[in-house]
Structure 1
Amino acid sequence: MTEAAPHVGAPPAERLARVLDRFAGLAVAVSGGVDSLTLASFAHRHGVTLTVIHAVSPAVPAEATLRVRRLAAAQGWALTVTGTGEFDDPRYRDNPVDRCYFCKTNLYDRIAGLTAQPIASGANLDDLGDYRPGLIAAAERRVVHPFIEAGMTKSDVRTLARALGLDAVAELPAQPCLASRVETGIAIDAGDLAFVEMAERRLADLTGGGTLRCRITHQGVVVELDGEAMGQAGAVEALMAGLCAEAGRAYAGNRPYRRGAMFVGAKLVSTKVVGA
């Protein structure tokens, strides 16, 4: 059954508090991005008995793990860092269009083996308009989505993060896992993900911000830039040509950023989420 939105006219933080009041405890899956960090921070301050689970793998940037550890220490979270085992799953490594389903299947099954608390994700309303096969895995495992139940968008989450004093977290760009940079049908390889992580770190240092992606495609390495970073396309090309030459990779140039560009093949238009 779908929960009715709690007190629709109330401010987002009040709606979220009333959603969380249903739970004596929660296991929050924290990736290191703005959504899950904000959810864990708010739930902790609201008095929910919290277990924070952060999964490490070649698909998770090292800086995300460092961010989780630092915030957990600062706020006094009960933090568990674990592997998920998705790289042992050939269905994930084969990188089909629904790869995220197998990633989240491994993640939520691992969390369920660590705690009896209900599992919560940081998904927000904006995620329902995107292709998110991981939400199907979540629905099958009765994962709850407090932001969705509270009717909160990404903008609402960023506003809440600022209200919690998490200004640096609030400004984090959208940063899906590194495997999202690999085009459908190209096997997920830890070496490719390490190259992507290194290249994007160097690109961010060069451009100073904006949305950028280093993509592993069937044509070679492609860099996607938003409008702000496009102004430095020449410098980006020079950097990437050098990095690709050093790594023995083909560089296929730059193009404008396009969300979900690595998905090839049929995709679902929307995803039904239990509790949304």
Structure 2
Amino acid sequence: MNHGFDPGGLAPPLAAAWARLTARLAAFPSLLVAFSGGVDSALLLAAAARALPAERLAAGLCVGAFTPWWEAQRARDLAQSLGARLVELDADELSQPSIAVNDSQRCYYCKKLRLMLLTRQARQMGLAELAEGSQLDDAGDFRPGVKAVRELGVHSPLAEAGLDKAMVRALSRALGLPTADVPAAACLASRLPWGRPLDAAVLARIQAAEAGVRAVLGEALIRVRDHFPLARLELDPALLATAASEPARGRIVAAVEASGYASVCLDLKGYRQGGAQSSRGDASIDVVTKET
């Protein structure tokens, strides 16, 4: 991190947004930050760590079958680098039938579960408020979880301070946060279309496949869409040529097959938000890299 960060060196709109954010955070008596280690919650925690004394601040990380292990580890490392107390909670999402059935309101039920767990944790720790990392651009996306934020009265300081995603990334770079340019992330359940019931084995298979692809392509925009026994890969379009060429192609195929899939294909459309819902069958597949 850039411990020598000087907000006076920011462009005026960013400096004003930073001032609004830190003033908002400093006004809380004490705070638990809902922390995933992604770009938004990382900036929120970094700002809170500058606005509040350590004894009035903590980060709450929900882990479980929905959370890839590399995201949880990034969150642990970042909280440590920020000097923030970190508490981990097992969300145990699959124990909730409303979530495991995987209908179009899954994100709402999951977000509500996690926020309720974090609210209870905040009370137990004697922390007055709970905040999460939604920013202005989230209002334009399909995000049923936003309803849970409103219902439970959870604060969204980034949005309240007028920050959008570009501003969040710009401030993250100024702060020297390692999350400044990380790709968008989503839980493992998002790799399946609505209506496909969720279980631990399916999510573990997806996680293993994505870990294998990440080992080849690095920390990039990668989604393994589960059409078992077929795995359909959605990637950052800039990576399509690399993924389709040797030696990466062979290594990707081997890694995905090792996770339990019989067939591996590369979607030439590349990554798109909600790709699991827009492509529900083999008709969506453009290039098959290997089939056994």
Partner of 2:224: 214
Contact 1:86–1:103 (CA under 8 A) maintained in structure 2: yes
SS where residue 232 of structure 1 aligns? helix
Q: Which runs of 5+ in 2 are unaligned?
A: 1-12, 280-292
Tell me how far apart the structure 1 counterparts of residues 71 and 217 of structure 2 sit (CA, whole Å).
Answer: 20
SS where residue 193 of structure 2 aligns? coil
Tell me how far apart the structure 2 counterparts of residues 153 and 31 of structure 1 sit (CA, whole Å).
Answer: 18
| Matched residue count | 258
Tell me how far apart the structure 1 counterparts of residues 257 and 172 of structure 2 sit (CA, whole Å).
Answer: 41
1:242 matched to 2:242? The reply is no
Q: Which has the higher contact order (CA 8 A, sep 6+)?
A: 1
TM-aligned CA deviation for residue 219 of structure 1: 7.8
TM-score, structure 1 normalization:
0.84
Tell me how far apart the structure 2 counterparts of residues 100 and 250 of structure 1 sit (CA, whole Å).
Answer: 29
Partner of 2:211: 201
Structure 1 or 2, whichever has the larger Rg, is 2
1:161 matched to 2:156? The reply is no
47-56 or 245-254, which deviates more: 245-254
Contact 2:33–2:45 (CA under 8 A) maintained in structure 1: yes
1:22 matched to 2:13? The reply is no
The 5-angstrom pairing of residues 68-107 of structure 1 reads 68-107=75-114
Shift in CA distance, 9/226, structure 1 to aligned 2, threshold 3 Å: closer
1:225 corresponds, among 235, 239, 256, to 235
SS where residue 17 of structure 1 aligns? helix
TM-score, structure 2 normalization:
0.80
Q: Deviations over 1:40-77 (max 9, x none)?
A: 11111112621210011011121222222222223321
Q: RMSD of the TM alignment (CA)?
A: 2.4
Q: Which structure's residues are more often helix, by fraction?
A: 2
Ranges of 4+ aligned residues in structure 1 off by more than 6 Å: none
Tell me how far apart the structure 1 counterparts of residues 119 and 182 of structure 2 sit (CA, whole Å).
Answer: 28
1:140 corresponds, among 151, 154, 163, to 151
Letter in 2 for 1:134: G
SS where residue 231 of structure 2 aligns? strand
The 5-angstrom pairing of residues 122-137 of structure 1 reads 122-137=133-148
Tell me how far apart the structure 2 counterparts of residues 51 and 248 of structure 1 sit (CA, whole Å).
Answer: 39
Contact 1:42–1:164 (CA under 8 A) maintained in structure 2: no
Letter in 1 for 2:235: L
Contact 1:184–1:264 (CA under 8 A) maintained in structure 2: no
Tell me how far apart the structure 1 counterparts of residues 63 and 254 of structure 2 sit (CA, whole Å).
Answer: 29
TM-aligned CA deviation for residue 130 of structure 1: 0.8
Letter in 2 for 1:254: L
Contact 2:173–2:180 (CA under 8 A) maintained in structure 1: yes
Partner of 1:5: none
- Percent same amino acid at aligned positions? 34
